[in-house]
Amino acid sequence: MLTMTPQAASALSRDTSAEAEKAQIRALRELPPWRKVELVEDANRTARMLALTGLRARFPEASREELARRLMDLVLGEELAARVYGPAEGRNDPARP
């Protein structure tokens, strides 16, 4: 099990006091496993929404399908996305998300 030294604990967040950070860590450790999974799922969902928002801004004319494929390039990496979904269609440079 990972144990944290006081120096390591205070290094996690620059804008949070060491005492508040310890309380946050304690609270996270006390969560049931199902709740930890929910928190990770929420974080992943938020990251995907932010990535998709960025892709929409970069490619405003892209179809929903093209945006989804570009998102998979980001999530899986271009090589694996191409192996799973096939080559990206309709792009000048298929290696670029």
Where do runs of H (alpha helix) occur along the chain? Answer: 6-11, 18-30, 33-58, 64-76, 78-85
pLDDT tens for residues 41-73? 999 999 999 999 999 999 999 999 999 999 999
Q: Is residue 94 part of a domain?
A: no
Q: Is residue 2 part of a domain?
A: no
Structural domain range at position 64? 15-85
Lowest mean pLDDT among 33-37, 68-72, 77-81, 91-95: 91-95
Q: Structural domain tally of the chain? A: 1
Q: Is residue 9 part of a domain?
A: no
Q: Kindly tell me if the per-residue pLDDT of 37 is higher than 70.
A: yes
Q: What is the pTM of this model?
A: 0.68
Q: Is residue 90 part of a domain?
A: no
**Cα–Cα distance, 27 to 37 (Å, whole number):** 15
